[in-house]
Amino acid sequence: MNNYTAILHRGEPDEGGFWATCLEVPGANGQGETRQECLDDLAAAVKLMLQVNREDAFRDDPHAIETELALA
């Protein structure tokens, strides 16, 4: 399990709900009526973006090597 940073915003007062982005995965965003719905939507977007990015990386170079990168 990986941890990511979600930036959660309240919607406009007349609209309600929440919207969120993920710092580590540009382009991934989510929205929902409740905080949890918003975070669930964001999690699905993050998973999809990571899958697409991985597929794109190997499409560009099918012989690429995948390895872990640990940051402290």
pLDDT in tens, 8-66: 999 888 889 999 999 999 999 999 999 999 999 999 999 999 999 999 999 989 899 99
Of 26, 19, 70, 59, the residue nearest 42 (C-alpha): 19
Instruction: Find the radius of gyration of the CA atoms of the chain.
Output: 15
What are the residues whose beta carbons fall under 8 Å from the beta carbon of 11, sequence distance 6 or more? 17, 18, 19, 31
pTM: 0.85
